[in-house]
């Protein structure tokens, strides 16, 4: 297609990128099409974004960094050969919302898997949940029992669900949130709440029950194995849907659980702009490339649906060609003649 890519991996994910690049080469991918360039992110970014032939950015990372990159590109518009295409997949504060008609056992499974697989280090990970009061006693009991089966440790052990967080910085940030939760009268640590960096950087999978739907744990992206749960009165279902929609500036993924079909359809309409990837009676993670295009809007990115033809078209430059077989020979048009 004529596109050449400079691939700058995250400083904390260079090894996996290196392995993947070697797989591409081994598979016969031509040299020079994808150029794997690990190194100092600011230096590489400055060099690439300052180049007159810079044609586009496809970014995955934090909302703050994406905003900075957008600004740098905007400042350089006059020097580029063409206007760059900009695609971003950034943060998320993804929710699972349950109606009183939901099945509890699969709901618990969806929250545990959605919140704690990959130690919550997925942009789509479940980090907030809304549970109706009528389901709470059964839900709480099932959740606590389920969490007893969740193992934390090395991913080399296939029985482990929760691995380490990626950096000590990530662990320290999460620890501060957990400490504030412990000190707050708005929070109850139901499960977990501890960190351990004696060997690796491990955050114990944590469930925090909050009595304030506007608490920071319901709004801020942690990128860690922590999920906040707000228990709402059944009669305030619609009001709580509105709260859930407005609480976060993100719009990546979300899930709604109910057996009542009319309620499902209502929630689907009500939450139309809350999640670019919306799940019904399922966890809010696990989009499969080629089957479920992925992306979200608001502060979660440009919603260009990675893993689909929609995204591919963003990187093409369309040319229209017209050929005339019977060219006109008179300047005047027929309607101009008397």
- Domain-located, residue 214: yes
Q: Looking at the structure, tell me whether residues 45 and 105 fall in a common domain.
A: no
Number of domains comprising the chain: 2
From 26, 42, 117, 123, active-site residue = 123
Residue 301 DSSP class: B
Containing structural domain, residue 199: 94-280
20 and 163 belong to one structural domain? no
- pLDDT at residue number 123: 93
Quick check: pTM over 0.85? yes
Residue 186 a catalytic site member: no
Question: Do 131 and 117 reside in the same domain of the chain?
Answer: yes
DSSP string, 68-115: HHHHHHHHTGGG-SSPPEEEEE----EEEEE-TTS-HHHHHHHHHHHH
Asked if residues 163 and 150 have their Cβ atoms less than 8 Å apart, the reply is: no
**Which among 63, 72, 7, 70 has a CA at the least distance from the CA of 33?**
7
Kindly state whether residue 334 falls inside one of the protein's structural domains: no
> Choosing from 89, 117, 187, 221, which is the catalytic residue?
89
Residue 89 designated active-site: yes
320 part of a folded domain: no
Matching residue, tokens 């050969």: 81
The rounded distance, in Å, linking the Cα atoms of 212 and 94 is: 17
In this structure, the number of other CB atoms found within 10 A of the CB of residue 223 comes to 22
CATH value at residue 133 = 3.40.309.10
Domain of 43, CATH number, reads 3.40.605.10
Is 331 within a domain? Answer: no
What 3-state DSSP class applies to 302?
A: coil
Q: Is 182 helix (H, G, I), strand (E, B) or coil?
A: helix
Whether residues 116 and 265 share a domain: the answer is yes
| Same-domain check for residues 109 and 173 | yes
User: What is the structure's pLDDT at 289?
Assistant: 77
What are the pLDDT tens digits along the chain (338 aa)? Answer: 778 999 999 998 999 999 999 999 999 999 999 999 999 999 999 999 999 999 999 999 999 999 999 999 999 999 999 999 999 999 999 999 999 999 999 999 999 999 999 999 999 999 999 999 999 999 999 999 999 999 999 999 999 999 999 999 999 999 999 999 999 999 999 999 999 999 999 999 999 999 999 999 999 999 999 999 999 999 999 999 999 999 999 999 999 999 999 999 999 999 999 999 999 999 999 898 788 899 999 999 999 999 898 998 999 888 999 999 999 999 999 899 87
In a shared domain, residues 102 and 77: no
Find out whether 134 and 100 touch, Cβ atoms under 8 Å. Answer: yes
Among 280, 300, 331, where does a domain finish? 280
In a domain, 327, yes or no: no
């Amino acid at each position: 297609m004529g596109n050449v890519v400079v691939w700058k991996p995250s400083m904390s994910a260079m090894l996996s990128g290196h392995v993947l690049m070697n797989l591409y080469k081994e598979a016969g991918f031509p040299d020079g099409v994808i150029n794997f360039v690990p190194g100092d992110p600011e230096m590489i970014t400055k060099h690439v974004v300052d180049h007159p032939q810079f044609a586009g950015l496809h970014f995955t990372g934090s909302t703050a960094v994406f905003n900075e990159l957008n600004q740098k590109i905007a400042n350089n518009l006059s020097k580029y050969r063409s206007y760059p295409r900009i695609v971003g997949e950034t943060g998320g504060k993804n929710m699972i919302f349950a109606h009183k008609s939901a099945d509890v056992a699969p709901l618990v499974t969806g929250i545990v898997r959605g919140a704690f697989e990959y130690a919550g280090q997925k942009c789509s990970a479940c980090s907030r949940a809304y549970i109706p009061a009528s389901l709470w006693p059964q839900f709480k009991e099932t959740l606590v029992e389920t969490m007893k089966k969740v193992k934390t440790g090395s991913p080399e052990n296939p029985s482990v669900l929760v691995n380490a967080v990626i950096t000590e910085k990530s662990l320290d940030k999460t620890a501060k949130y957990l400490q504030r939760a412990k000190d707050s009268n708005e929070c109850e640590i139901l499960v977990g709440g501890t960190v351990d960096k004696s060997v690796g950087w491990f955050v114990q999978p944590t469930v925090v029950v909050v009595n304030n739907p506007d608490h920071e744990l319901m709004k801020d992206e942690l990128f860690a194995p922590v999920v906040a749960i707000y228990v709402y009165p059944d009669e305030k279902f619609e009001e709580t849907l509105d709260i859930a929609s407005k609480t976060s500036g993100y719009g990546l993924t979300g899930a709604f659980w109910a057996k009542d079909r009319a309620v499902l359809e209502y929630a689907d309409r009500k939450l139309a702009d809350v999640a670019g990837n919306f799940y019904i009676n399922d966890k809010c993670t696990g989009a499969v490339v080629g089957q479920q295009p992925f992306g979200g809007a608001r502060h979660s990115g440009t919603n260009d649906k990675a893993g689909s033809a929609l995204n591919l078209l963003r990187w093409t430059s369309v040319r229209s060609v017209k050929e005339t077989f019977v060219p006109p020979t008179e300047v005047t048009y027929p309607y101009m003649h008397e």
